[in-house]
Amino acid sequence: MRKLIAVAVAGLAFAAAFDGGSAEARPKYKAGFEKKYPKVGESNKIDCSVCHPGKEKKEKNNYGDALGKVVGKNEADEKKIEEALGKIESEKSAVEGKTFGDLLKDGKLPASK
C-alpha cells in the first residue's frame, strides 16, 4: 500500500512539474491591443508575437520592451493596459522615421521581428 501511495505522489509531483509546457498567457493584453488597434488585426495575426518574437516568452522585441516599462506583466486592469498601450505610441520603432503609433495607425505591427 505504501508503494502505491508513493507512486501516486510521485506521479502527481511529476504532472505538476511538467504540465505540457503551458504558457503564461496574458489574454487581457491581447484583448486590449485588439480593441485599441482593430485595423492592425485586419491584416495581421494578433498573438504573443506582437511583443515576443521567439518561443521564449522571456524574450521581447522593442515593442514588448517599451510596453513592459510602463505596465507590469501581471496587470489585469483593462483601463491601465489601454493607457499603457497609448503611452508608448510616441516611442521610436525599428522602422526609421516611424513611431509605434505611426505603424499602428497604418495597420502594421509595431515591432521588428
| 81-105 pLDDT tens trace | 999 999 999 999 999 999 999 999 9
Residue scoring higher pLDDT (103 or 4): 103
- Decide if 2 is inside a domain: no
Instruction: Say if 49 falls within a structural domain.
Output: yes
The pTM for the full model equals 0.74
Instruction: Establish if 75 belongs to a structural domain.
Output: yes
Q: For residue 106, count other CB atoms closer than 10 A to its CB.
A: 11
The SS3 assignment for 32 reads helix
Residue 11, pLDDT score: 56
- What is each CA distance from 43 to 22, 39, 62, 106, 107, in whole angstroms? 27, 7, 21, 11, 7
5-60 confidence digits (pLDDT tens): 655 555 555 555 544 444 455 789 999 999 999 999 999 999 999 999 888 888 99
In a domain, 6, yes or no: no
Is residue 42 one of the residues assigned to a domain? yes
Is 50 a member of any domain? yes
Does pLDDT of 62 surpass 70? yes
Interatomic CA distance for residues 111 and 102, integer angstroms: 11
Query: At residue 10, what are phi and psi to the nearest 5 degrees?
Result: -65, -40
Residue 89 lies in a domain: yes
